[in-house]
Structures are given as C-alpha cells and as structure tokens.
C-alpha cells in the first residue's frame, strides 16, 4: 500500500514536471517569435520609414545628398559636417537632440538607408568612416590651437620675434614666423591685437592665438 502510494505520487510528479517543461518550451518559442519576426517586419514596413526612403530618393534625384542625425553630438560633429560639405557636397543635418519619437527614428532610418547606400556606391564602403577619422584628427588639431594662449614674445638671435605659446597637449612651445604647430603655420604677429595669426595647411582656415580668452576668432 505504501509502495503503491509512492509510485502514484512519483507518477504525478513526473507528469507535472513534463507539463511544465512543455509550457516552458511553448513560451520560449513564442518569445523568440515575438522578438525576431515582428521587429524585422516593423523595421521595414512603417509609414515613417517609407516616407524617409521616398524623401531621400527625391533628394538624390535633385542632386542633394544628405545624412540625417540626432542625439547627443560628438565634439567633432561640426568638423565632420564641414568636411562632408566642403569636400564632397554632402550635407549633415541634425534633426533632433536626445529626445526623439519612434516616428522620427523610423523616418531617419529610412532616409539614411537610401542616402548612405548612394554615398557608398559613389565613394566606397569605408568612405564615411574615413571622413570621420579625418574630422576627429582635424578637430583635435584645431582645438589645440583654439585653446592655446600666447604668453609672450622676445627677440631671437637674428632679431626675429620668438613667440611663447601655451598649448594643452604640448605644453610650452617656442616658435617663429613660418614655423608649424600641429599643422598650423605661424604667419604673422599683430601688435595691435597682441595676437598671432596661424594658417591651417590642410584647410587654409586661419585662427588667432591671443593672450585673451577668445580663441575662436577668424581672420578678417
């Protein structure tokens, strides 16, 4: 009698365990299908996604190539936008900050899917990453000059002025007219402004290195 009851209880336990396992397997299958299939379909079929694609196709037909972006900008985003536009005629358009809607995300995704495919076809697979690398390097160089401070000047051995500059990445730098600092050539000293004009050898942009706080002034 005791053995029979024990066998009975064991049979019920096995049955319950098997049932729970089958339910668990069904739930896993449903979750997997929910995560994979609808997400992929929604990614392709939303109205906003199609609107973005259509807008990009229209822009490309009218000779306008644009990449849309949103979110917290990198420190070099403006430099990246400048290089894309000046060198290749590609516009980088910021459409939103960090607060975005699902509709906007879908529209931007559809737009960029078309525009970036065109860019890759025109310029090559690694084109955008290459321009981004250039933008980072150029930003670092420009930032080094924009944040530099002219500490003073003195007369060198040949009577030429020697300038002492404080930079955040190279410390104290002594230079003369014609010398190069981080890709910028020292062109002249303006006594009235008490500032040093430097020329970017790569872009021909000019910046003033001053003893004041404003480091972003460009030459007139």
The domain limits of the chain are: 47-141, 147-210
d(CA 105, CA 98): 11
d(CA 60, CA 68): 14
Query: What is the four-CA torsion angle of 141, 144, 148, 152, rounded to 10 degrees?
Result: -60
Strand partners, 93: 68
Strand partners, 59: none
CA gyration radius, the chain: 31
**Please, what's the b/e burial string for 58-77 (b: 16 or more CB within 10 A of its CB; e: otherwise)?**
ebbeeeebbbbbbeeeeebb
* Residue 199: CB atoms within 10 Å: 18
The CATH number that domain 147-210 falls under is: 2.30.30
Per-residue pLDDT of the chain (220 residues; tens, 9 = 90+): 333 333 333 444 444 555 565 545 544 444 433 333 333 344 567 999 999 999 999 999 999 999 999 999 999 999 999 999 999 999 999 999 989 999 999 999 999 999 999 999 999 999 999 999 999 988 988 888 888 999 988 876 777 888 999 888 778 888 889 999 888 999 999 988 889 999 988 778 888 998 864 444 444 4
Determine the 3-state secondary structure of 176 from DSSP: coil
pLDDT of 4:
36
Most distant pair of Cα atoms in the chain: their distance: 117
The answer to whether the CB of 49 falls within 8 A of the CB of 106 is: yes
Contacts of 106 (CB under 8 A, 6+ apart): 46, 48, 49, 52
Exposed/middle/buried for 116, CB within 10 Å: 0-12, 13-18, 19+? middle
**At residue 36, what are phi and psi to the nearest 5 degrees?**
-90, -55
């Amino acid at each position: 009698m005791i053995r029979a009851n024990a066998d009975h209880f064991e049979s019920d336990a096995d049955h319950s365990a098997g049932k729970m396992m089958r339910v668990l397997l069904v739930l896993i299958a449903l979750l997997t299908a929910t995560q994979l299939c609808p997400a992929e379909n929604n990614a392709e079929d939303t109205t906003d996604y199609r609107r973005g694609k259509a807008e990009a196709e229209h822009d490309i037909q009218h000779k306008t190539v644009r990449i849309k972006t949103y979110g917290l900008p990198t420190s070099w985003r403006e430099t990246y936008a400048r290089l894309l536009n000046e060198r290749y005629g590609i516009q980088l358009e910021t459409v939103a900050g960090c607060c975005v809607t699902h509709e906007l995300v879908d529209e931007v995704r559809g737009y960029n899917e078309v525009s970036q495919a065109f860019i890759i076809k025109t310029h090559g697979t690694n084109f955008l990453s290459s321009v981004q690398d250039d933008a980072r390097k150029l930003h670092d160089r420009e930032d080094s000059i924009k944040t530099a401070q002219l500490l003073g000047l003195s007369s060198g051995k040949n009577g030429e002025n020697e300038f002492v500059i404080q930079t955040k990445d190279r410390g104290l730098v002594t230079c003369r007219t014609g010398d190069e600092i981080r890709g910028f050539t020292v062109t002249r000293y303006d006594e009235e402004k008490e500032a040093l004009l430097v020329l970017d050898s790569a872009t021909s942009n000019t910046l003033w290195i001053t003893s004041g706080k404003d480091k972003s002034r460009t030459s007139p």
